[in-house]
């Protein structure tokens, strides 16, 4: 959520910031701004609401003048509506110290800090929590700190919440200082210039060397170098990691949207996962488990948010069925607040595309403090969650730019499927049975590819759905989470209200919504023993004149009588083993959401109000 880019020491500072912000557009935002200091230390700021192009136009119309230091931000509104007043950077000061700040996260105690700073003479102009930051730091500079790093260290002790911010002192054009707590912030290292960013992608092509800050680190960058101090204020060395970001700059490669490109990348993603995490000869899973003793696992918590939580639910079905270990799946925003018990031998699994999701990270830290072994499934192995884990499973999906997740979701399900088998093997499931399921997984890339080559039936349905104001999605067994994911996708990008239920729950309330105007998407596979029950549920919809849409496999389609077929819209997927059904049934729902959204003309890659990486609770 939001984007931070800071540059010091480069004469192209402003352009680097603006280009970096463009690369971070996928994270979600509703306003943007940039500030720089001229040769004499004078501050210039430009802000705009809406797409980043509005800021680019503003800078082009009102140039900022030459500078070697600049600070930029894309804002996703929390405190205060999107406006130029509330957009970052924010400037404030006390006495001789005037500071400019960009900030991700939330300062939870900002109201009391506002009152305290107002009593010292602070003049607040915005509705944001961020505006308290420069004043609190300026107060520290005035009363107790000799350097900016010391002032930020002292000020950070007053802030409650999760945050990452970078501060620039007006009149001093040779350094920036930043810190983080629960929100990502890294340093790009180069010769004669250094950089801050909330995501390394912002600096692709500028540098390949990065330092990832730990919570409450204070970092000062200048053209001459980087200094990092830990939470105690002592100098500390953080490792410099070299990242290859070249593939992340590949663009849409001829596709109309990043989402469509990422849907089509799924066969390659699954192939990469299977090549990396299974043996070629014995067909056994080889996920890196570090020191984790799988045979000793007695209970598993899988914690995630949004799309990742639905992948976790698929993982629960497979783990419990094949490894016979009880699994609790819970949304991260609720997990730690009920102070859950952690049984001996328990394993905590966090699933997150970005590895920075604030709610999931907070739950992870809660479990880690309780002594749980931490396993993380993430697409970003340099993320906060990955660094906090005992073992990390790389989703290997590559950079996902579209806000609505597609290839990362499939990667999560595929890797969780392999984990279920690896855990089952450690608990005695035969190699023969495991190899059968891996053989099924290896057919998955072809099944996905075949579905992507014939989307005409989905196009026809999507054009019909543009008139819908509400939809219902139903599924049983391991397809219930896929129904939830399908409903989420149509909400996210087509802006159609949708609810999802386990099919058997439809009669316990949702059936009251069914009428001739309600499309009801039913998912049913012939291979899980639940097909007839699902048909009974769709008959209940049919009896109430609901618009029945059935997605089933080719064998399931043959089981329908003529009367039933005539009453519904039928879409088919390949008949596959139940073990891989969730991944196969996911594809038409992704395509349907995409086609419906494009038919409605919505912003598919950057839907309104959403952020790719939600770094606030």
For residue 7, the model assigns a pLDDT of 97
For residue 247, the model assigns a pLDDT of 66
For residue 344, the model assigns a pLDDT of 85
For residue 264, the model assigns a pLDDT of 94
For residue 250, the model assigns a pLDDT of 63
Give the residue numbers marked as catalytic: 2, 612
Give the model confidence (pLDDT) of 538-563 as tens digits.
777 777 877 889 999 999 888 888 87
The percentage of residues in the chain with a pLDDT greater than 70, rounded to a whole number, is 98
Domain 3-247: homologous superfamily in CATH: Aminohydrolase, N-terminal nucleophile (Ntn) domain (3.60.20.10)
SS (H, E, C) 356-413: CCHHHHHHHHHHHHCCCEEEEEECCCCCHHHHHCCEEEECCCCCCCCCCCCHHHHHHH
Residues of the chain within CATH 3.40.50.10490 domain(s) are 254-442, 449-611
Q: Which parts of the chain register pLDDT below 50?
A: none
Strand positions, DSSP E, 21-89: 31-37, 43-49, 69-75
Give the model confidence (pLDDT) of 263-299 as tens digits.
999 999 999 999 999 998 889 999 999 889 999 999 9
For residue 399, the model assigns a pLDDT of 87
Strand positions, DSSP E, 145-222: 161-169, 176-181, 186-189, 194-197, 209-212, 218-222
* Whole-number Å distance between alpha carbons of 92 and 133: 8
CB atoms within 10 A of CB 96: 10
For residue 336, the model assigns a pLDDT of 84
For residue 249, the model assigns a pLDDT of 64
254-442 under CATH 3.40.50.10490, yes or no: yes
Residues of the chain within CATH 3.60.20.10 domain(s) are 3-247
HSE toward the beta carbon, residue 250, CA cutoff 13 A? 16
For the domain with range 449-611, which CATH number is right: 3.90.1150.10, 3.50.50.60, 3.90.650.10, 3.40.50.10490? Answer: 3.40.50.10490
């Amino acid at each position: 959520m939001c984007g931070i880019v800071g540059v010091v020491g480069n004469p192209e500072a402003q352009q680097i910031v603006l280009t970096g912000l463009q690369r971070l557009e996928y994270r979600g935002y509703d306003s943007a701004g940039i500030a720089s200091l001229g040769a004499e230390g004078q501050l210039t700021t430009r802000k705009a609401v809406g797409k980043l192009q509005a800021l680019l136009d503003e800078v082009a119309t009102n140039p900022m003048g030459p500078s070697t230091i600049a600070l930029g931000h894309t804002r996703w509104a929390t405190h205060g509506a999107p406006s130029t007043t509330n957009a970052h950077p924010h400037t404030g000061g006390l006495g001789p110290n005037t500071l400019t700040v960009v900030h991700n996260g939330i300062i939870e105690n900002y109201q009391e800090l506002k009152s305290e700073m107002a009593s010292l003479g602070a003049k607040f102009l915005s509705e944001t929590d961020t505006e308290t930051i420069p004043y609190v730091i300026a107060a520290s500079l005035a009363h107790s700190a000799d350097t900016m790093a010391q002032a930020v260290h002292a000020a950070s002790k007053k802030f409650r919440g999760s945050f990452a911010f970078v501060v620039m002192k007006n009149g001093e054009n040779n350094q920036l200082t930043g810190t983080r707590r629960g929100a990502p912030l890294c340093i790009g290292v180069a010769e004669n210039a250094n950089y801050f960013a909330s995501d390394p992608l912002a600096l692709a092509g500028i540098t390949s060397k990065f330092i990832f800050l730990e919570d409450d680190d204070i970092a000062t960058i200048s053209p001459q170098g980087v200094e990092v101090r830990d939470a105690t204020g002592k100098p500390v060395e953080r490792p410099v990691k070299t990242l290859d970001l070249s593939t992340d700059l590949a663009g849409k490669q001829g596709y109309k949207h990043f989402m469509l490109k990422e849907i089509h990348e799924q066969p390659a993603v699954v192939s990469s996962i299977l090549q990396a995490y299974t043996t070629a000869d014995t067909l056994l899973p080889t996920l890196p488990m570090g020191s984790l003793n799988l045979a000793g696992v007695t209970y598993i918590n899988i914690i995630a948010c949004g799309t990742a939580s639905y992948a976790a639910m698929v993982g629960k079905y497979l783990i419990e069925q094949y490894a016979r270990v009880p699994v609790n799946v819970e949304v991260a925003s609720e997990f730690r607040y009920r102070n859950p018990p952690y049984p001996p031998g328990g394993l905590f699994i966090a699933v997150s595309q970005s590895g920075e999701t604030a709610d999931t990270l907070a739950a992870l830290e809660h479990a880690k403090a309780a002594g749980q072994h931490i396993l993380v499934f993430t697409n970003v192995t340099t993320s906060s969650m990955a660094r906090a884990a005992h073992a990390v499973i790389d989703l290997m999906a590559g950079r996902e730019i579209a806000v609505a997740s597609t290839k990362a979701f499939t990667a999560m399900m595929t890797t969780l499927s392999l984990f279920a088998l690896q855990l089952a093997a450690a608990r005695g499931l035969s190699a023969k049975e495991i190899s059968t399921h891996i053989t099924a997984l290896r057919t998955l890339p072809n099944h996905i590819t075949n579905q992507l080559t014939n989307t005409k039936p989905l196009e026809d349905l999507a054009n019909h759905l543009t008139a819908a104001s509400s939809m219902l999605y139903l599924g049983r067994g391991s397809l219930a989470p896929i129904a939830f994911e399908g409903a989420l996708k149509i909400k996210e990008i087509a802006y159609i209200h949708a609810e999802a239920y386990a099919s058997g729950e439809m009669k316990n309330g949702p059936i009251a919504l069914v009428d001739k105007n309600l499309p009801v998407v039913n998912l049913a596979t012939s291979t899980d023993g639940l097909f007839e029950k699902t048909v009974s549920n769709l008959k209940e919809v049919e009896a109430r004149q609901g618009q029945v849409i059935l997605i089933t496999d080719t064998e399931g389609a043959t089981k329908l009588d003529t009367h039933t077929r005539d009453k519904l819209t039928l879409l088919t997927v390949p008949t596959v083993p139940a073990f891989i059904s969730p991944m196969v049934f996911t594809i038409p729902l992704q395509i349907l959401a995409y086609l419906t959204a494009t038919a409605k003309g919505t912003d598919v890659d950057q839907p309104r109000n959403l952020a790719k990486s939600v770094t606030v609770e």
